[in-house]
Structure 1
Amino acid sequence: MGALDVSKVVHKHQGWRLISCIWLHGGVFHILANMLSLLVIGIRLEQEFGFVRIGLLYIISGLGGSLLSALFIQSNISVGASGALFGLLGGMLSELITNWTIYANKVAALLTLVVIIVLNLAVGILPHVDNFAHIGGFLSGFLLGFVFLIRPQFGWVSQRYAAPGYSSISAKPKFKMYQCILWVASLILLIVGFTVGLVILLRGVDLNDECSWCHYLSCVPTSRWSCNTQPVSCLADQTSDQLTLTCSSTGKSKTYALSNATTSQIRGLCSLLCH
């Protein structure tokens, strides 16, 4: 229905799935959690910068999240607006940096925002969470914030609205030099990043083949859970009081003292055996 399915994006040229998956969710709790986050994060940004700029930041960040997810997670489908929401967090961070001089409690705001971002990204190391979408959305939003959320410096605003005869002799520039440098650099990185990413994706490249450790950014296996999301299958041999399973992918075999095993029991034992 529009979920991010990499095989259809690459082989059936359904690139629109990179955008449509942002508007789909995996259940009521999923959509409620995302919409609550959108209200908390998005209202202040929209009030300050308008719905056009924040809307563009949201959608492009979602695209960036989908793109990075598609480059690393190619065996599963993906839905959700988490990448776009992380883009708003990234935009808030870059907005604070590029407009640094106008804020009063800037250090406290920066530390608070960084802690929130780190905690949310840390949740992504759990299984069944697409942290690549989070990272891609965050990086896209971070760069977009330097482009869309730049503010004129206070001296220029004061000079513009000063009463006649009270304006400063030396004209103040609208933006500081570092703001302009960040604007240009971010725009270049965005264009290059999206272009290269789309080209690599449409060529069917799996970046896991180029980066052996990158999968840990999305899931870190522990004794409590496995990060293997590949479907598993087993060959089952049921006798009167024993069940022998052989994992099709690993070849491991084990016999269980179990008679008349149900399908769900076989599936559960197979999953444990193959993982």
Structure 2
Amino acid sequence: MKITDRLKIMPVTLVLIAINTVVFLFTILKGMDIWWGDGTLLLHTGGNYWPLTVSQQQYWRLVSSMFLHAGLWHLLTNMLGLFIGGFFLEPVLRSIRYSVAYLFTGLLSDYVSIWYHKGAIGVGASGAIFGIYGVFLALLTTSLFSWEMRKAFLAYIGLFISLNVIAAAISQGVDNAAHLAGFLSGTVMGYIFFFTLKKADGERLYP
């Protein structure tokens, strides 16, 4: 399958990347530093913050914060992870399941994030992206895919997890609560999705 054909069957991933990019450009136009972000500006633009999101019941921030990023590197790393995960998984799940997984794990991880860090402003798509990888890992432990495919992609997921554990250990500002909540909830959803998928769905894993 050509790359262009593959892109046609991952529309949700491409739309999400486009929205995240447009929103980032909007925050830059509003004066945010392109590399380091701006907590105050992000908060006013829709950042996730316990005193506002929960105490003042501005629950829409759980959604809006998923499309905000604190700097170009934050955006690029998240969008790369989203593209890779979506490239392989969206054709398997199809757009509806994939969208449900992304939104559910993203909302849950955002809530866990501000519950755990009540004084911090949360932004970024990483909770939802970890959710997608959680779904991926769960399905890779089932019979949906052939063993040959499972071996290769399990190694990739293992590398993804290892790199993020290292990043969490040496970096400041990594939202481990959101990442863990997204990944675990995604894993549960993956096992639920397994019972709704057929062998033909698993065959769409590899282009």
1:91–1:83 Cα change, 3 Å: same
Which residue pairs with 2:198 in the alignment? 152
- C-alpha distance in 1 between matches for 2:189 and 2:118: 26
Which residue pairs with 2:72 in the alignment? 28
* Match for residue 117 of structure 1 among 152, 157, 161: 161
* Match for residue 86 of structure 1 among 130, 134, 154: 130
- C-alpha distance in 1 between matches for 2:159 and 2:80: 19
RMSD: 2.0
- C-alpha distance in 1 between matches for 2:145 and 2:47: 42
1:28–1:101 Cα change, 3 Å: closer
User: Does the alignment pair 1:104 with 2:145?
Assistant: no
Structure 1: stretches of 5+ with no match in the other structure: 155-275
Paired residues, number = 154
Q: How big is the shift at 1:3? A: 0.6
- After TM superposition, the score normalised by the length of structure 1 is 0.51
Structure (1 or 2) with the greater strand fraction: 1
1:30-45 superposed matches below 5 A: 30-45=74-89
Structure 2: stretches of 5+ with no match in the other structure: 1-44, 201-207
1:85–1:101 Cα change, 3 Å: closer
Q: Is the 8 A contact 2:130 2:186 kept in 1?
A: yes
Q: Is the 8 A contact 1:23 1:80 kept in 2?
A: yes
Q: Which has the higher contact order (CA 8 A, sep 6+)?
A: 2
Letter in 2 for 1:152: K
Q: How big is the shift at 1:153? A: 5.4
- C-alpha distance in 2 between matches for 1:111 and 1:29: 25
1:195-234 superposed matches below 5 A: none
Q: Is the 8 A contact 2:48 2:62 kept in 1?
A: yes
Q: Is the 8 A contact 1:4 1:78 kept in 2?
A: yes
Deviation track 1:122-162 (CA, whole Å, cap 9, x = no partner) reads: 312321111111111111111111122443358xxxxxxxx
- C-alpha distance in 2 between matches for 1:71 and 1:99: 36
Larger Cα-atom Rg: 1
- C-alpha distance in 2 between matches for 1:27 and 1:39: 18
Letter in 2 for 1:68: V
- C-alpha distance in 2 between matches for 1:61 and 1:18: 11
- After TM superposition, the score normalised by the length of structure 2 is 0.67
Question: SS at the partner of 2:106?
Answer: helix
Question: SS at the partner of 2:122?
Answer: coil
* Match for residue 185 of structure 2 among 137, 140, 147: 140
1:130–1:101 Cα change, 3 Å: closer
- C-alpha distance in 1 between matches for 2:95 and 2:194: 12
- C-alpha distance in 2 between matches for 1:53 and 1:7: 32
Letter in 1 for 2:198: P
Structure (1 or 2) with the greater helix fraction: 2
Letter in 1 for 2:69: H
1:123-272 superposed matches below 5 A: 123-125=167-169, 126-150=171-195, 151-152=197-198
Which residue pairs with 1:54 in the alignment? 98
1:115–1:32 Cα change, 3 Å: closer
